[in-house]
A and B are shown apart, each in its own frame.
Chain A
Amino acid sequence: DGGITQSPKYLFRKEGQNVTLSCEQNLNHDAMYWYRQDPGQGLRLIYYSQIVNDFQKGDIAEGYSVSREKKESFPLTVTSAQKNPTAFYLCASSNLRTGGITNEKLFFGSGTQLSVL
């Protein structure tokens, strides 16, 4: 089945530690996104990538880093500089070629819950 796979489902971070969240898609989508969701809140954009080897900062990129070495993969690293990392992290992808940005439909993974020990 085509889709987006995020792993792990739950992740714990120790003080001063970097952790990496995985996001893989087999939908052949060009664009990929990372969002953060705090309890009872909407989604906030961390980073996005439209093509391989290129990515852009979203609204809350500080304390996070990403890479896009392959079309299928867009891992997110939560660095020790992110002082409040506890949140639900969502990865999404979309195919911008079908109708352009205004008709873009995002497909989301099932998320990773990150907590601090």
Chain B
Amino acid sequence: DAKTTQPNSMESNEEEPVHLPCNHSTISGTDYIHWYRQLPSQGPEYVIHGLTSNVNNRMASLAIAEDRKSSTLILHRATLRDAAVYYCILRVGAGSYQLTFGKGTKLSVIP
């Protein structure tokens, strides 16, 4: 899988929006951008994914740069339950089942 770069950690105040960045400068045209998050002592859970257009769901929004070399996961109002490690992953378009999770960004939410 192609490589992604994320900050090691971020902080946010409760009830404020959070923008989690991800750089993926070597992305190819068929790679999908996936986000997962992992709460302490739990397995990761799917958050959102997209290819080119911005995506919204009940958990978050995904903003993808026009050149697709970066993306941003947006949590519109952070809650204490959003404190987790967030992983940005590129899903190769053809043939690879090896979804690679890097170290991700540890998000702390301050009450």
Residues of chain A whose beta carbon lies under 8 Å from any beta carbon of chain B = 4, 31, 33, 35, 40-45, 48, 50, 56, 58-59, 90-92, 101-111
Contacts and interface: CB of A to CB of B under 8 A. Distances in A.
B104 A102 contact: no
Contacts of A41: 103
Interface in B37-90: 41-46, 49, 51, 87
B102 interface: yes
A100 to B, nearest CB: 9
B43 A90 contact: yes
B30 A102 contact: yes
B104 A42 contact: yes
A35 B45 CA distance: 14
A108 B32 CA distance: 20
Given A40-B103, A42-B101, A50-B97, A105 B43 contact: no
Contacts of B41: 110-111
15 contacts: A35-B101, A41-B103, A42-B100, A45-B98, A59-B98, A91-B43, A92-B43, A101-B93, A101-B97, A102-B91, A108-B42, A108-B45, A109-B43, A110-B42, A111-B43
Contact of A111 (B30, B42, B99, B102): B42
A101 B89 CA distance: 13
A108 B97 contact: no
State the main secondary structure of chain B at its contact with A.
loop
Given A48-B97, A92-B43, A111-B43, A106 B36 contact: yes
Given A42-B101, A45-B99, A106 B46 contact: yes
B102 A42 contact: yes
Contact of B99 (A40, A91, A106, A107): A106
Contacts of B104: 42
B85 to A, nearest CB: 9
B87 to A, nearest CB: 7
